[in-house]
């Protein structure tokens, strides 16, 4: 029985990893922030996280669920803070119109 479960888990893992590899998404994503725009270096961030997409995407790569101001701030700012790299001040991200 437990062998079946392990097989199932490996199988799901395989497909998760594979679906991540299948579509890396755009190298730069234009994130709209009200009237301003941020050129988010998606590819660079993928490299920074060693291809561990789940640092930002929960299950499948693609649109992030409930993407909003709160979601973005909660995702982006703590990591910059922790690494002491990347913008944490409002103007660091909210600058280009
Ligand atoms: C540092 C955070 C971060 C990491 C790491 C990351 N992404 Fe993303 N990704 C985003 C954001 C932000 C968006 C835009 C979200 C939205 O519009 O809902 C996005 C969007 C996407 C999209 C959809 C693009 C579209 O417009 O339809 C794909 C596909 C994607 N990412 C794949 C990946 C893959 C594959 C990896 C790992 C190799 C990865 N991402 C790693 C933040 C990240
Ligand atoms: C897993 C950690 C992590 C997450 C999550 C993350 N970043 Fe970053 N980000 C970094 C690091 C580290 C740097 C500094 C890179 C450097 O200096 O070379 C950076 C740099 C940046 C920069 C400076 C310009 C550039 O491309 O180097 C911007 C803008 C930025 N991040 C936006 C975002 C946004 C928007 C999100 C959320 C969608 C996000 N980051 C999520 C780690 C992260
Ligand atoms: C790491 C980058 C980053 C930092 C730092 C940041 N934001 Fe944001 N913010 C974003 C992103 C990305 C969005 C867009 C989310 C979305 O698409 O709904 C956003 C959305 C917003 C919005 C809603 C859209 C708008 O412009 O009306 C407000 C308001 C906002 N941020 C205010 C702030 C304030 C105030 C600070 C400083 C305390 C701040 N942000 C710091 C990335 C950032």
**Closest ligand by atom to 48 CA:** 2
pTM of the predicted model as reported, rounded to 2 decimal places: 0.90
71 lines ligand 3 (CB under 6 A): no
Structure confidence by residue, pLDDT tens digits, 37-84? 999 999 999 999 999 999 999 888 899 989 999 999 999 999 999 999
User: Angle at CA 96, nearest 5°, toward 93 and 97?
Assistant: 130
What is the reported pLDDT for 84?
98
- The architecture of the domain spanning 24-93 is Alpha-Beta Complex (3.90)
d(CA 42, CA 62): 12
CB-defined site of ligand 2, < 6 Å: 31, 38, 40-41, 44-45, 48-49, 55-56, 72, 75-76, 79-80, 83, 85-87, 93
Max Cα-Cα span within the chain: 58
Q: Which of 94, 89, 86 is nearest to 36 (CA)?
A: 94
What is the reported pLDDT for 97?
80
């Amino acid at each position: 029985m437990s062998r079946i479960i392990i097989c199932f888990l490996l199988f799901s893992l395989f497909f998760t990893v594979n679906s991540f590899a299948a579509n890396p998404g755009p190298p730069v994503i234009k994130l709209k922030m009200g009237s301003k725009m941020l050129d988010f270096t998606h590819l660079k961030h993928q490299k920074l996280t060693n291809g561990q997409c789940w640092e930002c995407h929960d299950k499948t790569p693609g649109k992030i669920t409930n993407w909003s101001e709160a979601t973005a701030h909660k995702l982006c700012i703590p990591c910059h803070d922790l690494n002491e790299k990347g913008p944490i001040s409002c103007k660091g991200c909210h600058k280009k119109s």
